[in-house]
Structure formats: C-alpha cells, structure tokens
Structure 1
C-alpha cells in the first residue's frame, strides 16, 4: 500500500493533472475508488468477515472494482481509442459496482453509498454530458439506498425511504458544484485557447511583416535585452561584429560616427552615443548616421528610435530602426565628385567666352544690333557661369571650410554694399542694422557667401518700392544674422521644400525669376558646416525673414595652426 501511495504521489506532484496524458488521467481517476474499496475490505475483515465476504453483492462489487482498475491500466486510452469519451465507460461501470458494495454492506458498514461520489465526480470533472451527469448523480444514489432498504427486508415504507435521503442529496449537490466549476474552467480554457491562437496568428503576421520590410528592426526592453529582431537586422548586425569577438556587447561593436559630409570618423562612437544605448536610455531620435564594420569594409546606417511605455507611462523599452544607406552615401559622393569635375571643366571655357565677349563689346565701331546681341550672349553666359559656380560650391561646401577669427560686421556690410547698386536699380530700399564689430570664429569666405545668397534672394523676390532689412546682433553664445524682406512670401508647402536642391517655388517660375534653386540649399549647408542653424518664417503677401544662428566660438571649431 505504501509503495502504491508513493508512486501516486510521485506521479501527481510533478505537474497539474490537466497536463497529463489521457491514460494517466484515467488511472488517477480510478485510484481513489480502488483505495477506498481496499479500505472497506480491511474494515470488513475487522467487523464481520464471514458475513460480508460471503455476501454475493459485496463480493461482486469488490471484484468489479478490481476488474475496472485493471482495465484503467491496460486499455490504451487516447491511443487506439482516440475518442476521449470512451474512458467514461469506467465511471459508469463503477456506479453499478458501488451499488453492489452498498447493498452487500448495508446494516454492517454504514455509509458505503458515499462511494458513489467517486464515479459521479469523475463524470462531472470530465466536462462531457453535464446534464446526463446531473441526472445520474440524482438517480443512482436514490436507487442505491432504496435497493439497500429493499435488500434488508425492512419494507419500502415512506419513512424507510426518506431516512437515508441525505446521502443522495449531498452527492447531487457536490455533482452540481463540480459540473459548474468544470464548465467554468472549460470556458476559460476555450477563451485562453482562442487568445493563444490569435496571439500565434498575430505573431506570425508580425514576423511576416517585419521580414518583408526593407529596414532592420529591433525591439529592446528597458535593460537592453533583445525582445524582437527581424532577419534583415540580424544580417546587418553582423557587419559591426569584430572578427576576434563573435559575441560582442553593444559597446564592443565596431560603430563609428560621421562628419558633416557623411564620411566615417576614425574613432569609435562613445557608448552613450550608440543608437541602441540611446534607445535604452529612453531617448527618441531620427536619422542618426553612423558606420559599422572594419575600415575599408564599412557600411553606412541611418538609425531612428521610439520609446515604448507601460500602463503607468514609464519607459519599458524601445523600437530601433536601422536603414542601410551605404549605396545612397556612395551615390552622393559620386554625385559630388561628378559635379565638382564638370563644374571645373565648364568654368574655364565659360570664363574665356565671357572675356572675349567683353572685348568685342568694347569695340567702338560695333553696330548697335550686334551690340544688343552681344549683351544677350554676355548676360546668359554670366548666368551659366553663376550656375556652374553654384554647382561647384555645392560640391565643395563641406570640404573647404577654414575657420579663423573674423569680424562678422565687416563681412556682412561688404555684402550689403555689393548689393546696394542692384537694390537701387530695382527700386528697393536696402537697410542695414549692424554693430560696429562682432568677432566670431568662422570662415570669412563662406560667411560672405551666406550673406550674399540671403540678400540676393531677398532682392529677387521683393518688388519695387519694397524694403530689405539686414540686421546682425550678438547673443550669449551666438551671432544672429537676420534678412527680412517685404516680398511675395511663401505658403507652408513651399516652405517645406525650400532648402531642397534645385527646388524653385511656383511663383518664382511663373515670374521667371532667374536662378537654379541651389542658393538656399548651399546656404543651409554652409551654416551647418559652421555648426549653426538657419530658420525661415514667411507668409504669402507679407514677406519672408531668414534667421541664421552662428556660434561665436565653439569647442568643436579650432583655428588651424
């Protein structure tokens, strides 16, 4: 007996019964009645063995329980008998076996009818046929106790039939409770199963979507552990792994920053500037350009991150997107090299053409008609030379910045004075509001280009009678250059594309305002090369105001020795 109890204990303590195979469930469901029957046999030996073991009902009931126990062990429930409902034959047989035991022990061992609870509970917790189970829970106990009264010869009087009624009532009440509990559990199981299926479908869909996009995606928790990563990101991640460290931490990855031209820097990115580390710290950012890999085999990536929040609004992780822009960077470098080469090749013959046109135009005997033609040729040649210079400047902005101490007021004033004749011819008032001196660490040539472009642009789009105001002032750490005009102004759609190369507004094209659409994009690049910022505010019919913020002296800028 002790060995049997030990085996049962070892069997059930490892995991919940609902996780067992059907065969184990059947055996465990039969064991309580088997053990109770063994105990009843021991009690029979102690109380009245001669009478009980010679009683055909008791002997038949005990033999039936033993046979059913053997069946629970040897029949391949859930194997060849795949329908799980087949095992309910056993509790049904147990009902008759217990009825026989109860009849045989009536008057000697009272309460044996309570053994009916074992097969009734088995039927109830199975979850099958709940209404039939409740009917059995009521009918069989009643039949059992009344058969016991009949077998004892006491007579089937109302009083004798009603005296043992508590046993069937209790068994029925317990059966109802078990059926309700099992129905609730099965309902929860169905809900959980549906939720699990839905989760699996969502996970499969998410996996398909992530592997279909052309960017790398990684989701990290607040501690930096990878929660999700698509296949493309796994491939991209390998580009930054050192050859001598196959499983590096984020700080050990070969990641490098980029300069203003987008070229990789020689020193690795500091740990707190790496995209994943920034995301773990809760930072949100867009378009961080960095390079990954060993020198000569580096790939360029653009990283963006957004935070995840829990129900309390606390940072719980981040989604980081990595876009391989190596081909784009190569194309940009190729484009700049092409523009620089073409511009140099075009500028030399253009300069020669313009020189010879001017020589011919100076001939006093030149006919008036020819002079007019030469003026048109000279004007268009100058426009073409201006376009070539813009292209050359655009390609060389980030390669030829030379910082030195300079007087911003002097440089801006020179640009104003250069533009004053054109303003006078156009009937535009050009106002200057400059301090006597404002020293900053900057490139004088590039600052002059910034001022020239902004003033020239303001004059182009201001009608006769308007005003262009150029002001310069010093802040705590920055110089602020502001060019304000009373011209046509721009709408929000035009403002969004204003600094795009070769972009020209619809009003400029309709008014045939000369230009290639490079001036403002070059200006922004020049300002960015000085670690500054440029802003614009404009409204149609009101005018535009361009504001440039230039650092007076930045730790990032040094004067060449």
Structure 2
C-alpha cells in the first residue's frame, strides 16, 4: 500500500526514503530529456539555429546542472539547498528561448518544469508559485530590456500572459499537491491505526486460553489464533466447514457421534448462536471436551457475513465433576448400610418396656438424628435429579427448636459454647417438620463449630408479617463478602473454614437453601470477618392454598436477599 501511494503521489520525487542526489536527478531528468528532444528536432528541421552561441551556452548549462545533480553531495546540505537547481534552470531555458526565437516558440513551455519542481517540493509551502512566476517574468522581460529597441508598454504587457499562465498552473498544482499530502497523511494514519488494531487483536487472541475462530460465509478463516486451534482440529480447520465435516471422533456430551450439520462451524454458518455447548472430540483415552460458543456476524444491511466461534477446553473440569459425583454416590451408598442397622437396633431397643425415661429419650434423639442422616444421604444420591418430596403440615417451630437445641447441647458443651434460645410458647408454620428440623440442626451445628470457646449462640424465633422467622446468631470467625456470596453453593467452603481444622464438605447450607426455597421461604446470611455470622430463615405460616388468589399481595415476608442467594 505504501509503495502504491508513493507511485501515485506527486510527492514521489520528493520521498524522504530516496537519497537526496537521486531525488534531484529524477526532478531534473524530465527537463533534460525535453531539451535533448528540442535539440534533436532543431538539428533536423532548423539546422541553422544550432549555430547561435546562445543555444550552445544553454546546452552547456543544461549539462552542468544535470551533472550537479549527481556530483554535489546534496544529502550533506540543508534540504532547501537543492532548490538552487530549479532556480538556475530558468537561465538556460531563457537562453534557449532567446536563441531559437522566433523559429521555435514552444520553448517557453519548458519554464513549467522548474516551476513544478518548486511547487511540488514542499520546501517552499506558500511562495513557490510566486517564485516560479517571478523567475518566468525575468526570463521574458530580460530580452525586452536587453534589446536595442526602446522599451515600450506594449512590449512589457505583451510578455505578461506567460508569467500569469505559469502562476495559475503553479498555484493549481500547489493546491492539488497540498490536498494530496493531506489525504496521504490521513490515509497513512488510518493504515497505522488499522495495523495497530490488528496487532492488538492478535496479541489479545494469543494471550487468552481459548481457541477463537472467525469465518466468512464459506467457512474460510478470517481471524484465528492457530496455535490454540490446533488441538481442536489441526490444520484442516483452517480450510473451513467442509474440512470440519471430515474430522473423525466428534461427539455430543453424552457420547453420541455428531453429524456434519451438527458440528460447531456448520451450525454457526447456518445462523445458529449458542453458548457453552459441550463437544467431545478424539478417542479414549485422549478424548478432550470443549465448551463451544458461537455468534453470527451481520453487515450494515443485516446480511450474514460469517461467524465467530470460541472453544474452551473443559476436560479437566468435566472429569472433576464426574469424579465428584461418583465420590458422593459411592459414599452415600456406603452410608446406607450402617444407617439401616442403627435404625433397626434403635427400634428394637425402644421396644424394651424396662427402659428408663432418660434412656428412652436418648434413643429418641438417636432415632431422630438417624432419620435426618438418612434424609441427607438420600439428598446426596438425588442431587441434580430434582427437588426432594416434602410432606408439609402445621408444625410448631418452637418444639423443633427445642429438639434441635437438645440434640446440639452435648456438642456445644464440649466446645464451651452456650446456647440461648428466645422464642414464644408456640410458633405454628406450614412446613415439613423433618426437613425443617434438618435445617435447624445444620444451622445450629455450623454456629457451634465456628464459634469461639466461651461464646454464646443466640437462637431467636419470631412471628414476622405472616411468616415464622428463625435467626441463629454466633460470634465466631465470620466470613468476608467474597465468601458470603458463595456460601450456599454446593461443596463450597469459605476461606476461613478451609484454613481452620474444622471438618466439612460444604453441602449442608446448599441443602438448607433448597429445602427452604421448596417451602416458599427465604434463607439469608449476614457475616463480618472476625465478628460472627447471622443465618436467618423464614417459613410461611399458611399453606400456599390459603394465599389470596387475586388482587392481594403475598403475606410471606421475604427479607432482603441480595446476590448471595445465587
């Protein structure tokens, strides 16, 4: 592109990339060639003219000026020094004009060569046309003043059209040259900006850990980071969708082979946009899993002009999730056998009529916790298979709190933690007592685990705007905002919990959230690192069928629950 600009531009003869001597020679050559043609024509048609000394003096000066272009070290002189050449060109042109006049009148047009040199050089931005016109005026007036004939006004004004014509041509060429310089500068800046953006684009593509491919409507690549794309399809993807169809070993997430129309590039070129679509390619044991996203491109007329696809290798993540699921399933199955034995023997023991009330009460706690543990195992086995079945009924939350507190008392006592409950005599809510008991047990267990010795865990139960609300407040290690926002995710544990020696799997609060949301309630967490945590649950008092069917707002109170419930 730059070479084309230099070729088309008038400034080509003044390109700073050329040596100064070569630029001077290229500017002088057109006049030298024209002069040689004039002398050759005169030798054929006007031979007597060559006997005129002025003609030979002009020829000698032309030769000297041509040699000066080559001999003088112009690159060592100031840039404007070279303009002495076009100024001196007016001397031999004037001599040649006078020596051949009136037989040859066209030599006056040779004055345009030095004028054009001056106006296109850019070294005299404003006065080049005037300088050329002034030198032309000198050339045409010197013979008038040198003539033995008295100078008259007619003689002077008769020679004016030539300088005026030169001035008009010079000014026009100078303006055109200026406009070309401006356009050339703008175009160079645009090219530089485009080149910068191109470098930036490829640098970004090379720095990201994803394969990116932009294709036109025929599937030919426009932009791609080939190094990252090689794992997906090798060099053949560089040839577009047709080559993609020939790639072996491409499957869906479940392992079903993909047809040519189902492959990512083909789907994108068909106008389909998708996000995080999993594709398997290759054969075991080296098979990889890619998360593919695609967006179609449209021009200003909304006509398709290709698509952009991104490929992210998620093989390790998928393997980790599969291993996690297999681990949870295996552990859950292993827990079923001892739980079944515990429940069976507990039931047998409760059938002994000689047991004391204290023993019978302890067995009741064992049976209740075994049932909740069995529900937890069932939840683990059913994770991802839909919500668990609820059996809601009018339930006294105060009674559930009493049972949960009694079950947690030994653990609290061993950690020197005091449990303090504040609740009304009764607090009836429409809920599944087993599931809500599981939630209360989990919240109390967490509050005790993360409390400091000799601190107090407060449990508050209140009736609040048509809902039953329970708050469990501890003064333990707490969490930061980044952990609070993820505490209800499955298998997530806060940074403080991971750094402590407190055991846990990070599934309890995720199950609590599912249970509470199934009841139509809310669960929130407010925590300050180093100060403690407050967990709040709300459960509707009335069953859903008792809610007014039209017009009225729901009586369920939902505490503000920002993005922490994601």
**TM-score with structure 2 length normalisation?**
0.64
Structure 1 pair 107/228, CA: closer, same or farther in 2 (3 Å)?
A: same
Structure 1 pair 48/290, CA: closer, same or farther in 2 (3 Å)?
A: closer
Say yes or no: does 1:423 pair with 2:397: no
Query: Which deviations, in whole Å up to 9, do the C-alpha atoms of 1:316-348 show, x marking residues without a partner?
Result: 222211110011011012111211221122221
Q: What's the secondary structure of 1:183's corresponding residue?
A: helix
Structure 1 unaligned spans of 5+ = 1-11, 399-414, 428-454, 462-485, 489-495, 515-538, 545-561
User: Do the aligned residues in 2 keep the contact of 1:258 with 1:264 (CA within 8 Å)?
Assistant: yes
User: Do the aligned residues in 2 keep the contact of 1:286 with 1:305 (CA within 8 Å)?
Assistant: yes
Match of 2:173 among 164, 174, 178: 178
Superposition pairs of residues 216-365 of structure 1, within 5 angstroms: 216-238=211-233, 249-259=243-253, 263-265=254-256, 267=257, 269-365=258-354
User: Do the aligned residues in 2 keep the contact of 1:239 with 1:292 (CA within 8 Å)?
Assistant: no
User: Do the aligned residues in 2 keep the contact of 1:103 with 1:151 (CA within 8 Å)?
Assistant: no
User: Do the aligned residues in 2 keep the contact of 1:240 with 1:293 (CA within 8 Å)?
Assistant: no
Query: Which deviations, in whole Å up to 9, do the C-alpha atoms of 1:130-175 show, x marking residues without a partner?
Result: 2231222221110000012234433332221110211111111000
Matched residues in 1 for 2:72 and 2:296: separation? 55
Structure 1 pair 359/15, CA: closer, same or farther in 2 (3 Å)?
A: same
Superposition pairs of residues 5-404 of structure 1, within 5 angstroms: 16=8, 22=18, 28-45=26-43, 48-50=46-48, 52-70=49-67, 74=70, 88-238=83-233, 249-259=243-253, 263-265=254-256, 267=257, 269-394=258-383
Structure 1 pair 143/299, CA: closer, same or farther in 2 (3 Å)?
A: same
Root-mean-square deviation over aligned CA pairs: 4.1
State the shift of 1:39 in Å: 3.1
Q: What's the secondary structure of 1:295's corresponding residue?
A: coil
Structure 2 unaligned spans of 5+ = 398-429, 437-465, 469-484, 491-506, 517-521, 525-534, 540-552, 559-566
Matched residues in 2 for 1:298 and 1:159: separation? 99
User: Do the aligned residues in 2 keep the contact of 1:222 with 1:318 (CA within 8 Å)?
Assistant: yes
User: Do the aligned residues in 2 keep the contact of 1:113 with 1:144 (CA within 8 Å)?
Assistant: no
User: Do the aligned residues in 1 keep the contact of 2:299 with 2:305 (CA within 8 Å)?
Assistant: yes
User: Do the aligned residues in 1 keep the contact of 2:393 with 2:431 (CA within 8 Å)?
Assistant: no
User: Do the aligned residues in 2 keep the contact of 1:124 with 1:133 (CA within 8 Å)?
Assistant: yes
Segment drifting more, 160-169 vs 82-91:
82-91
State the shift of 1:258 in Å: 2.6
Query: Which deviations, in whole Å up to 9, do the C-alpha atoms of 1:261-315 show, x marking residues without a partner?
Result: xx433x2x11221111222222111011001223321111001112222122222
User: Do the aligned residues in 2 keep the contact of 1:60 with 1:97 (CA within 8 Å)?
Assistant: yes
Segment drifting more, 288-297 vs 125-134:
125-134
User: Do the aligned residues in 1 keep the contact of 2:218 with 2:240 (CA within 8 Å)?
Assistant: no
Matched residues in 1 for 2:58 and 2:296: separation? 70
State the shift of 1:239 in Å: 6.1
Structure 1 pair 207/189, CA: closer, same or farther in 2 (3 Å)?
A: same
Structure 1 pair 225/543, CA: closer, same or farther in 2 (3 Å)?
A: farther
Matched residues in 2 for 1:56 and 1:240: separation? 77
Superposition pairs of residues 496-507 of structure 1, within 5 angstroms: 501=490, 502=507, 503=510, 504-505=512-513, 507=522
State the shift of 1:226 in Å: 0.8
Matched residues in 1 for 2:267 and 2:306: separation? 11
Structure 1 pair 201/75, CA: closer, same or farther in 2 (3 Å)?
A: farther
Structure 1 pair 123/234, CA: closer, same or farther in 2 (3 Å)?
A: farther
Query: Which deviations, in whole Å up to 9, do the C-alpha atoms of 1:341-397 show, x marking residues without a partner?
Result: 2112222111111111111122222222222222222111111111112222338x6
Q: What's the secondary structure of 1:130's corresponding residue?
A: coil
Q: What's the secondary structure of 2:308's corresponding residue?
A: strand
User: Do the aligned residues in 1 keep the contact of 2:339 with 2:370 (CA within 8 Å)?
Assistant: yes
Matched residues in 1 for 2:314 and 2:235: separation? 15
Aligned length: 421
